[in-house]
Structure 1
Amino acid sequence: MADLKQTETNQAPGEVPAQTPDVKQKAPKPTKRTRQQKGAVRTSAAKSGQQATSPKAGASPTPRTARKIYSEKERAQKLGEIEKQIGRGASIKAAVQKAGISQQTYSQWKKAAGQTTPSEELKGLVKLEEENTRLKNLLADRLRKENADLKKKLGLA
């Protein structure tokens, strides 16, 4: 030991001391990640499809479940349930959670349910036009009768 101290003190300030085999080397510094490499680092658990355990994972209120494909009938039923709950004063978030789907799924289903084909739109417009003409004729008949009654009362007819 005394020899090592003497050799270290005898060296010039700019010289690097010779390393002996019994001295451990420091681990190399990790390199900085480039802009492309920045982002979430995947753990081995995440790569294998398992959920990584982290302090935040235990804090989530709803555990992640497997993806389920709903039929059109089930979608319509769930949308109806959600609309009823919203009508009763529940928030969208609470109603969607109760139904067991995400808010994104709800909005996508609602958007898809609102879309109609052009032929359905035309059928609806034709029905509205027929109803409109029927109501116009009914109103015109009532006004003619009322006008005739007024003329009789006034003695103009």
Structure 2
Amino acid sequence: MARKRFSDEDVLNLLRQFEVELSSGSDVASACRKVGISDATYYTWRKKYGGMGKSQLREMKDLEKENSRLKKIVADLELDKLILKETLDYLKPKA
């Protein structure tokens, strides 16, 4: 079976549909069958996106983007630090 990728917005919409299905008396397995995903996928999504709105999702994406940008900056600074340390060791007079 081909693997299908859902966008974050699609996941939020599907979770809302799940809530409607479950509130109408359906069980998790039949709701998953209707949407076409496994139970494990449902529980993973619920753990990650449960209770989240679209604005919170947007904020989470912005924070993840900012976090990756800051990690790149730290990596560059660490590399510069190592280069300067090696240069200093090379230029130190040997006794």
Q: Structure 1 stretches (4+) deviating beyond 3 angstroms?
A: none
Report the AA paired with residue 105 of structure 1: T
- Residues 96/70 of structure 1: CA separation in 2 closer, same or farther (3 Å cut): same
State how far apart, in whole Å, the 1-side matches of 2:51 and 2:21 are: 23
Aligned counterpart, 1:72 = 8
Aligned counterpart, 2:36 = 100
State how far apart, in whole Å, the 2-side matches of 1:75 and 1:66 are: 18
State how far apart, in whole Å, the 1-side matches of 2:13 and 2:5 are: 14
Report the AA paired with residue 83 of structure 1: E
Shift of 1:115: 8.1
* Larger Rg belongs to: 1
Report the AA paired with residue 106 of structure 1: Y
- Of the three residues 11, 28, 45, the one matched with 1:109 is 45
Shift of 1:114: 3.2
What number of residue pairs does the alignment pair up? 53
User: Matched residues, percent identical?
Assistant: 32
- Residues 115/85 of structure 1: CA separation in 2 closer, same or farther (3 Å cut): closer
TM-score (norm 1): 0.32
Cα-to-partner distance string for 1:16-49 (whole Å, 9 max, x where unaligned): xxxxxxxxxxxxxxxxxxxxxxxxxxxxxxxxxx
Long gaps (5+) in structure 1 = 1-64, 121-157
Shift of 1:91: 0.7
Shift of 1:85: 0.4
